[in-house]
């Protein structure tokens, strides 16, 4: 049972390619609400993190996606993107969300996918440079939620990588 104020142990850095199933399991232990979000799978390809999610655990009173759950998913996915990118660089660092916004475009009425990518083409390079120069940095990410072919939500977030002493 997790206790407030006690950090969860870090997942050891991968030796080679990240095991996303192991990361997902660790994530559920580290952040208890993850188990209730309906994340069915995760995939990482070309700096794009994709989640497949079930609608059933995220229903609102109208039978569509609950905005609060969808917002939590976009924020968490951005945090995961940065954490996984850092792990791929051999870095175990703390990541926090600095800013997050969501724009709801259409109701979510079925299972869906959430895709997270850097907002700027040179975002990864800028983050790498800041980490090398200052030991900390930020990256802007975009999350898009699709139900079938329909874009239902677009979110933007700024995620900070803290310095080792923060």
Can you give the pTM of this predicted structure? Answer: 0.96
Q: How far apart are CA 107 and CA 94, in angstroms?
A: 34
Start-to-end CA span in the chain (Å): 26
Give CA–CA dist 77/50, Å, rounded: 9
One CATH from 3.50.50.60, 3.30.450.20, 3.10.129.10, 3.60.110.10 for 41-161: 3.10.129.10
- Distance (Å, whole) CA 112 – CA 120: 24
Q: What is the pLDDT of residues 46-99, one digit of tens each?
A: 999 999 999 999 999 999 999 999 999 999 999 999 999 999 999 999 999 999
pLDDT above 80 (res 166): no
List beta partners, residue 143: 116, 155
The per-residue pLDDT for range 115-133, each reduced to its tens digit, is 999 999 999 999 999 999 9
Average pLDDT, the chain: 95
Task: Check if the beta carbon of residue 65 is closer than 8 Å to that of residue 110.
Answer: no
Neighbours of 24 (CB within 10 A): 16
């Amino acid at each position: 049972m997790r206790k407030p104020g006690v950090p969860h142990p870090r997942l050891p850095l991968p030796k080679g390619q990240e095991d996303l199933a192991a990361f997902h399991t660790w994530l559920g232990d580290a952040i208890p609400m993850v188990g209730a979000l309906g994340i069915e799978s995760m995939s990482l390809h070309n700096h794009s993190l994709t989640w497949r999610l079930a609608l059933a655990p995220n229903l609102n009173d109208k039978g569509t996606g609950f905005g609060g759950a969808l917002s939590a998913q976009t924020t968490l996915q951005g945090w995961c993107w940065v954490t996984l990118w850092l792990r791929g660089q051999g870095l175990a660092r703390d990541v926090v969300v600095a800013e997050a916004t969501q724009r709801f475009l259409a109701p979510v009425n079925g299972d869906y996918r959430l895709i997270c990518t850097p907002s700027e083409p040179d975002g990864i390079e800028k983050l790498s440079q800041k980490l090398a120069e200052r030991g900390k940095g930020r990256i802007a990410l975009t999350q898009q939620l699709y139900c079938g072919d329909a874009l239902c939500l677009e979110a933007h977030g700024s995620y900070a990588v803290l310095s080792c002493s923060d």
